[in-house]
Chains A and B, each alone.
Chain A
Amino acid sequence: MNYDLPPPPASVGVSNVADLQYRNYEGPLISRTMRWWIIAKSGMQNTMKKPAFWVCVAFCLLPYLIHFAIYYFTQGLTQQAAAAGVGAAGVLGAGDPERYGQLVYTCLCSDTNLLSIFIIALLIGTGSIAADNRANALMVYLSKPITKGDYLLGKWMGIFLTLWIVALLPCLLLFLLLMVVYTTDGFLRENPTLILRILAASVVPALIHTSLLIGLSAWSKSPRLVGSIYAGIYFVGAILARILGNSLYGNDPDMNNTVQHFSVSGVIEGMIQYILHITLSPALLQKRDDTTLAMPIVAPLAIAAVVLIIGGIVAARTKINAVEVIRG
């Protein structure tokens, strides 16, 4: 059925002067399938416009660049050593199957990298829904053919994809570098699953930061408030976990280690360590003796991670579901 009003009287014949009056849009309208992607894309475009974002990305790259530089400058020495028949496989300790994983861990979980990822998360995550709350943007969104689920998914994906790519890309480059250099030394043979582990490990900080920030952001109207709260949880949580671990389980190094990992940053680091399947060597721990640190007990950490992720999403969903488009 045609619901149009009769069109305005058409101009007679062909005219030299174009009719620039308002015309109705008669073009295509695609249906709903990937509506969340529009929101995610819009969020990512906004992020890329911020100079602070790129500064943080530069800081993320720093640990990788440093290790690359170390490798590059020492390569000359190792080649000479190899030519002279003295063993050693470059920078990394000989024969240690975990050495590649440990290198990735060093870079990925370096303070600089994790901190930069955290700051990027703050930058894009705090305002995601909080700014919308303040501007009542949900009114605009919901009057279009999208659901609240689409909205939430779009926001979540916008942040998640950004954080994941920032964590993943430098890692991938490192992997390529290692592949180029150490294939002959058995790089791919020794650690065939490394690439998959890298993919999984880089997902962890993205998942946790995104979900928690979305959860917090949905309940506030002020991005700054969300930022301060999350920063508080992050840093103070880490300190408290350390204190708790030492005081409760001073004599039990495994339990001590696990409890110390019971903060947001701890969970991230712990899960990455588990996924990369490494123990932290003395070199990594910067200790002089032979102490190694085994992986923390995974189960509680994994549960904590899942709780954080699901909790954040549920919190956001609850708040958004309560919004009404037209108020009486």
Chain B
Amino acid sequence: MAVATISNLTVRYGSKTAVDDLSVEIPEGCVGLLGPNGAGKTTLLKTLLGFVHPASGGAVVLGMNAATEGMKIRQRIGLMPEIDCHIPGMNGVTFVALAGELAGMPSNYALGRAHEVLEYCQLGEARYRNVETYSTGMKQRVKFAQALVHGPKLIFLDEPTNGLDPKGRDEMLELIRDISHGKGVNVIVSSHLLPDIERTCDTVIVMRQGQVVRQGSVADLRELGGLTVDVDLRHPSEPFLEAMRKRGATIVSQVGANVRLTLLDDKEIGRRLFEAAQEAGAQVRGFRPASRSLQDVFLEAVE
């Protein structure tokens, strides 16, 4: 069942058409929204949040009409904006509690819930400090918490790992994965970092120039099908490639010590590779059915 449906949406800013006759269904679970800058992602998000008055067409989010019930929608969804933002002059708990109250929570519920959410985001004692003293990782987590505090069924995350070091990025992606798988919250992630999307999202929507050009589950999109195998060698080895050609393989591409080849059938792939390696005096250090990286999917879709 779709969490949001966009039907024949056309949005114009003055004379410029940002989105033209767009129709897309946002499925449940964790959805990645990809696209080059200017593809219409921003307009799509703004529409789903109820900020935009379309020239024609419309959108339905969680059963509510985006053009007329914008306020109600914003009560049921959460947004984690891309840029650094917080309400100044207060500590973490007060900030998140205020966010909850603004969303409509009664004040006695808001504070308790703020604590719960901050606990979930692993902000311990730091929650009693002024938000301005937080590190980048903590600021991102507080932003995440204020989006979650009022129990939305759908949250939008705009570049959630912006500015985070690898450890911080890991933790944030874990949080996103956890909240969307098992805690019952639908998530839409907009990001340029494709491995982040691969790690957290089940489906992706790729946009280009105001249109959706690819949509599907990550697994489906990445599947290359056929009998293509990626092989990691210890060192690049021409004899190995020869040995494989003799066994009926076609070499698709080679980058350093990594080779992609297509086989005629899938019987005993491992044995054939190892035999060829022994023959050629090379060493196979890994092989797996080839899949496209999400980056390849993206580049293919938008070029």
Contacts and interface: CB of A to CB of B under 8 A. Distances in A.
Do A and B make up one complex?
Answer: yes
Interface of A: 1, 3-8, 22-32, 35, 38-39, 42, 46, 127, 131-132, 134-141, 143-147, 325-328
Interface in B76-125: 78-79, 81-90, 98-99, 101-106, 109, 113, 116-117, 120
B88 A131 contact: yes
Given A28-B109, A145-B71, A22 B42 contact: no
Contacts of A140: 81, 85-87, 99, 146
Interface of B: 1, 3, 28-29, 37-38, 42-43, 45-46, 49, 51, 62-63, 71-72, 74-75, 78-79, 81-90, 98-99, 101-106, 109, 113, 116-117, 120, 132, 146-147, 149-151, 153-154, 158, 179, 182-186
The 4 A-B pairs with the shortest beta carbon distances in the complex, nearest first, are A25-B151, A136-B85, A143-B79, A29-B104
Nearest to A7: B184
Contacts of B185: 5, 24
A1 B51 CA distance: 23
Nearest to A43: B89
A22 B120 contact: yes
B201 to A, nearest CB: 15
B90 A46 contact: yes
Contacts of A127: 88-89
A132, A143, A146, A328 — most chain B CB neighbours (10 Å) = A143
A31 B38 CA distance: 35
Nearest to A30: B104
Nearest to B71: A145
Contacts of B116: 22-23
B28, B90, B104 — most chain A CB neighbours (10 Å) = B104
Contacts of B149: 25
A134 to B, nearest CB: 7
Contacts of A31: 75, 104
Given A30-B106, A328-B42, A144 B90 contact: no
B103 A29 contact: yes
A145 B37 CA distance: 28
11 contacts: A3-B153, A4-B153, A22-B120, A25-B150, A28-B109, A29-B104, A31-B104, A136-B83, A137-B86, A143-B74, A328-B42
B104 A145 contact: yes
Contact of B99 (A28, A132, A144, A326): A144
A145 B186 contact: no
A5 B186 contact: yes
A145 B74 contact: yes
B93 to A, nearest CB: 13
A46 B185 CA distance: 33
Contacts of B81: 136, 139-140, 143, 325-326
Contact of A132 (B71, B88, B132): B88
A275 to B, nearest CB: 35
A326 B11 CA distance: 15
A145 B75 contact: yes
Contacts of B86: 135-137, 140
Contacts of B150: 25, 29
Given A3-B28, A8-B184, A143-B79, 20 more contacts: A3-B1, A8-B183, A22-B116, A25-B105, A25-B149, A27-B105, A29-B103, A38-B98, A42-B98, A46-B89, A136-B81, A141-B102, A143-B74, A146-B102, A325-B49, A326-B42, A326-B49, A327-B82, A327-B83, A328-B37
B84, B103, B147, B149 — most chain A CB neighbours (10 Å) = B103
A5 to B, nearest CB: 5
A326 B43 CA distance: 9
A327 B42 contact: yes
A7 B185 CA distance: 10
